[in-house]
Structure 1
Amino acid sequence: MKFSFPNPMVILLGFLILAALATFLVPSGSFERELDEETGREIVVPGSFQLTEDRNVTLFDTLLSIPEGIILGSDIIVLILLIGGAFYVVEKTGALQVGIEALVYRFRNSQFILLVIFSCFFFLGGASFGMQEEIIAMVPVLVLLAKKINYDLRAIIALSLGSALVGASFSPINPFGSLLAQKIAEVDFSQGFLYRMVFLVLAFFSWTAFHLRWGKIPSVNLEKGEFAPVRISRSHGIILLLTGAGMIIMPWGIIQKDWGYNEMSALFFVIGTACGLISGLGVNGTARAYSQGFSEMIFAGVLIGLARSVYLILEKAQVIDTLIQAMFSPLEALPTAMASVGIFVTQALVHGLVPSTSGQAVLTIPLASPLMDLLTVSRQIAVLSYQYPAGLMDLVIPNNGGMMAVIAAAGVAYNEWIKYIWKSFALLLGIGLISCLLALFWFA
């Protein structure tokens, strides 16, 4: 009997069961927390860990966490449905197909330039506002592009979702990663900014070059006839301009106007509706296209919810703090360089328990910062040793609902994704670790 790799939903349900079982093996415990007025978040008080009464979850609690996780992620799920519906409407108008064909024709003799620009767009999105879930709705675009330029779909996902995650991981200005961690660690944002930028640029070129090199499918040759010039009609041009404007307005709203998921959802609902009406689909045709888009995206939304459920189980049983205390305590006795490596590895493991990068910063930086003080090195090491592995682990951990939703929507099995991505993932982890070790001298 041929082995069939589990569906993403099965994988996440498996993680949910493992999380429930872990509550019987790991004692409950918690740190004291206090409100940080500057960040508006509750942060851990170092040295305050205490064991508490065990809170093992029951079978009923485990089952209940499934709908609770989906409800907890409702704002992101609504975003996925509305943006996904909008992109589906745009696809039904035919503008997307025409736009990609025109783009491929424009760069027919220099596809690498097209892909570098493509990767740079997503990299900057990740670096500036932590783009990830927004990419789920763009999967039809990624699939079309991969077919047109004869690239492995996994490589195109790596140059979009992957670039965004790498950008978020190495960025010195990501508000949900490095900026938050620096505020909690009480270090100056400008300190080492140039140092961080050097490794940000190195990460971009290393990641992009890798997938440009290994993503091309060599066995199929595109015929010259496929590179025929494409005429973009007036209605298609307006639709593409509206869609592009939405992609520009969204990060502007996030950065300048403090937009949340609801504002982004509303923006693309308006854009999708306008595109449907401009194309001639009519009111009913646009509504039908939206409903079809919703049906395509609902599975991705469920995956997001299930990823939240795993964290919810661990949080209910109060075992996350216990696990983190057990991971960080042994590092105090290590030499400086080994402690830095230890924090790097520990933060990578912690991200498997806490899939939110901002949540991980709030939980771990207050523990890592005093450790740096004991070792008489800059707290910037604590920030770097958190932000690199935490961001990069989102490329591979199954309880990152955003990544699982993208590959599921693209029809890429999780094992096939890991098989393709692991070398470039290891490369970027290596660059991050080297940055942390060199920082011991830079910030001395």
Structure 2
Amino acid sequence: MKKSNENELEDNHPKKRRFAMPDAFIIIFGIAFLSAIATYIVPAGSYEREEVGGITQAIPDSFSFTESNPTSLLDLFLAIQQGMIESGNIIFLIFMIGGAVAVLDASGAIDAGINALVRKTKGNTMLLIASVTTIFGIICTVGVASNAVIAFIPLGIGLAKALKLDAIAGVAIVYLGFYAGNTAGVLEPTILGVAQTIAELPLFSGLLLRLAVFIVLMAVTILYIVRYINKISKDPSLSLMGNTPFTISSDEDDARQANQSFTKKHVAVIFVFLIFIGIFLFGALRLGWSVNELSAIFIMMAIVVAAVDRITPNEFIRRFMNGAKAITYGALVVGIARAVIVVMQEGNIMDTIVYAALTPLESMGVGFGAMALYAFNLLFNLLVTSGTGQASIVMPLMVPLVDMLDITRQTGVLAMKLGDGITNIITPTSGVLMAVLAVGGVSWTRWFRFIYPLVLIWVGVGAIFMLLAVMIDYGPF
């Protein structure tokens, strides 16, 4: 009787619901909404632009306030459509990769190949993970564009499946290695090239300090990934993916897992994959290929893989469409993330924010000035996630500022480069990050829970190197 009364009390007083992290769509739309409100508060303004050596850049001391263009309710929702249009190449890349990977995945070649690799390394999981992460870091830091990382995410997911981990681990192994390399930019010719050209510094100068940044970032990143992997290996319930380690899977999963032997057909499929990825990397380095060419490469690769796997055209289309359908959520997130930038650009407040942030720094000392520039670039990258875009906007304004503060221009370039790279691994306005998460089947909210401690570590590492740059008077060579 007493037990019955207790149950009645529980029914009458239900437990309070735990706070649920809002969906990525809600978070990003909230940012867009706040940006729209800002267009009513922040005065509109702009810098004049000029083209120097093929780079369109802001002209220092040319800022002027302009006529206000606040965002209406209709404009806010139109920005979503415009964001989809402007991000169309990345959105369709995600669909093409989703479809192609489904065709590749159904062949069983990736799983069989990775399982064979794991057996060859005799179960030395940590060495394998450290090696893979470091290889991708080196690939990016010597010049392969960061958006190419999207193509390699299926390999990370395949490795994570073979090691019985989760999708977050699979994404982290590849993506974080890539972005540690991107952030350091040891021999990276695009973002670093634009920044050093504007600062009138020799290309790739200051290499040794950036190499030290790369080594330290890679070390802390590998340790962070290994720590997470050890944790979920001992207790899978601690996985941030919950009860579903991998949210994207094909209908052929059971058949593929039943056939784990590494056959000649698997060798041929992997060879096709590597050939097409090699073609893209050559095009990216030599011919300036980017997202559109990568989409084309994946479509061609999927067709050739289907031929090697001897599947019918109708079966090929079924697999491809299922893969594209499974990735729709992540593809659309990219578009709404772009809407934030559309609102700020249409409202003419982007340049005003830059002007308001940089002007007070003129009266700061060397150390505080360098750290303030670093902090500004970290935050500004939340708005402009394109590295070349950020360099072309802020570097022309930072060059006279660092000269005035008696900070070396190389230190100014380092502040921009670190600021551009670090927050890219967490900001939902990054098209590359959202594409990577879409391909990996990881929601941004789960990724945020995983990544924010590492972001804080990276920020701390960057701050240490900024102070070191000031102390050693980080020069052009």
Q: Partner letter of residue 124 of structure 1?
A: I
Distance 1:52 1:244, change over 3 A: same
| Partners of 1:259 and 1:136 in 2: CA distance | 14
Q: Please give the per-residue CA displacement for 1:268-318, whole angstroms capped at 9, x wherever unaligned.
A: 211111101110112221122111122123322212211211101100111
Q: Secondary structure at the match of 1:23?
A: helix
Map residues 415-430 of structure 1 onto 2, 5 A cutoff: 415-430=445-460
The equivalent residue for 2:406 is: 376
| Seq. identity, % | 28
TM-score by length of 1: 0.92
| Partners of 1:219 and 1:251 in 2: CA distance | 38
Pick from 265, 286, 303 the counterpart of residue 295 of structure 2: 265
Answer with 206-215 or 330-339: which moved more. 206-215
| Partners of 1:6 and 1:23 in 2: CA distance | 25
The equivalent residue for 2:310 is: 280
Q: Secondary structure at the match of 1:364?
A: helix
| Partners of 1:387 and 1:370 in 2: CA distance | 18
The equivalent residue for 2:429 is: 399
Question: Which structure would you say has the larger Rg?
Answer: 2
The equivalent residue for 1:30 is: 46
TM-score by length of 2: 0.86
Q: Does 1:155 align with 2:185?
A: no
Answer with 334-343 or 184-193: which moved more. 184-193
| Partners of 1:297 and 1:415 in 2: CA distance | 16
Q: Partner letter of residue 474 of structure 2?
A: F
Assess if the C-alpha contact under 8 Å between 1:277 and 1:283 holds in 2: no
The equivalent residue for 1:98 is: 112
Assess if the C-alpha contact under 8 Å between 2:170 and 2:440 holds in 1: no
Distance 1:311 1:374, change over 3 A: same
Assess if the C-alpha contact under 8 Å between 2:149 and 2:178 holds in 1: no
Q: Does 1:66 align with 2:86?
A: no
Q: Partner letter of residue 323 of structure 2?
A: G
Map residues 306-325 of structure 1 onto 2, 5 A cutoff: 306-325=336-355
Map residues 113-128 of structure 1 onto 2, 5 A cutoff: 113-128=127-142
Map residues 3-18 of structure 1 onto 2, 5 A cutoff: 3-18=19-34
Distance 1:409 1:260, change over 3 A: closer
Q: Partner letter of residue 275 of structure 2?
A: A
The equivalent residue for 1:341 is: 371
Pick from 29, 41, 48 the counterpart of residue 62 of structure 2: 48
The equivalent residue for 2:215 is: 201
Assess if the C-alpha contact under 8 Å between 2:156 and 2:170 holds in 1: yes
- Per-residue deviation, 1:229: 11
Assess if the C-alpha contact under 8 Å between 2:153 and 2:175 holds in 1: no
| Partners of 1:256 and 1:410 in 2: CA distance | 28
- Per-residue deviation, 1:170: 0.7
State the superposition RMSD in angstroms: 2.3
Q: Partner letter of residue 27 of structure 1?
A: P
- Per-residue deviation, 1:173: 2.6
Answer with 229-238 or 270-279: which moved more. 229-238
The equivalent residue for 1:167 is: 181
| Matched residues, number | 437
Answer with 317-326 or 429-438: which moved more. 429-438
| Partners of 1:327 and 1:352 in 2: CA distance | 14
Q: Partner letter of residue 110 of structure 2?
A: L
- Per-residue deviation, 1:188: 1.2
| Partners of 1:272 and 1:137 in 2: CA distance | 13
Q: Secondary structure at the match of 1:117?
A: helix
| Partners of 2:286 and 2:151 in 1: CA distance | 23
- Per-residue deviation, 1:34: 0.7
Uncovered stretches (5+) of structure 1, i.e. residues with no partner:
222-227
| Partners of 1:230 and 1:50 in 2: CA distance | 65
Uncovered stretches (5+) of structure 2, i.e. residues with no partner:
1-16, 237-257
| Partners of 1:5 and 1:381 in 2: CA distance | 38
Pick from 261, 267, 274 the counterpart of residue 244 of structure 1: 274
Q: Secondary structure at the match of 2:51?
A: strand
Q: Secondary structure at the match of 1:394?
A: helix
| Partners of 1:358 and 1:168 in 2: CA distance | 12
